[in-house]
Amino acid sequence: MPEAVPLSAVVVVALITLLGGIGALCTSRLSSTVVSVLVVVVGSAGLGLATQGPALAILLLVGGMGLLLPVAAGVVVVDLDGRPPRTLRPWRLLMLLPVVLTGFVLWPLPLAVVSRTTSSSPTSDAALLALLALASAGPAVLLLARRREAA
Amino acid sequence: MNVVGVGVGTGLLLLGLGLAMLLLRRSLLAVALGAQLGTLGLALAAGSQGKLAAAAVLVVAGAAVALVVVGAAVAVHRRRGADHVDELRELRG
């Protein structure tokens, strides 16, 4: 358990997180929904930091970003936001590249932290890491498929 | 009310919002985002109670679900030009 955090600060973070969730429910544009879910991810990480410390905060932040990444890539690359699909331009790929690379590099970190602190079963750790690698490959597959179609 | 209670309550409310998104939004991508919201809420509620392993499993399972739904959305969009769930009627009796 971390150091004592003022309850009022935690409540403010919780309210911001819930407002993000309500925004995600109410906005019509997918890009706005993605931004609202991003607010929820960051707010959840803040709440995790207040309740259980850095391990839960890292898990929720990086894991939440990993959850968001495939859909964000789908919205940006495939462009299903109510507009006609556009040809994928190189700058758009370059814009996404750091996000995808960050996802690849950072994804295993929260699991490593959690498995070090909670689990003594290497088999279940390996299964989790395999699932994780599969999940993080999604945006890259989307990008490659779109690029092949554009070519 | 303590800090852990706020974390658990917020997580459960996020789960409710995610379920509402699953039922109310039309776009498959928005449905995927709703599933993520619910998963994140559950992970927050479990993690706030100290169940970090359960939270990690939830996050990984949620990522796998997101991949499947995004893949379906892309396939439906390419075939039909839209990704609205109420237009998928092939299995309707």
What ipTM did this prediction achieve? Answer: 0.87
CB–CB contact B44 A30 (8 Å): no
CB–CB contact B47 A142 (8 Å): no
Question: Which of chain A's residues have a Cβ under 8 Å away from the Cβ of B21?
Answer: 24-25
Using CA atoms, how far apart are residues B40 and A25, in angstroms rounded to an integer?
15
- To probe the interface with B, which of A16, A35, A51 has the most B CB atoms within 10 Å? A51
pLDDT at A143: 57
CB–CB contact A30 B29 (8 Å): yes
Query: The CATH number of B3-87 is which of 2.60.120.380, 3.40.930.10, 1.10.287.3510, 1.10.287.130?
Result: 1.10.287.3510
User: pLDDT, tens digit, for every residue of B27-74?
Assistant: 888 888 888 889 999 999 999 988 888 888 888 888 777 777 777 777
Q: Domains of chain B: which residue ranges?
A: 3-87
What's the DSSP call for residue A5? -
Residue B79 tokens read as 């075939």
Instruction: Produce one character per residue of A17-34: b if its CB has 16 or more CB atoms within 10 Å, e if not.
Output: bbebbebbbebeebeebb
Using CA atoms, how far apart are residues A145 and A77, in angstroms rounded to an integer?
10
CB–CB contact A44 B44 (8 Å): yes
Mean pLDDT of A39-66: 86
What's the DSSP call for residue B27? B
Asked if A92 and A76 touch (Cβ cutoff 8 Å), the reply is yes
Q: Does residue B84 register a pLDDT over 70?
A: yes
Q: Give the residue among A48, A21, A46 at the shortest CA–CA distance from A36.
A: A21
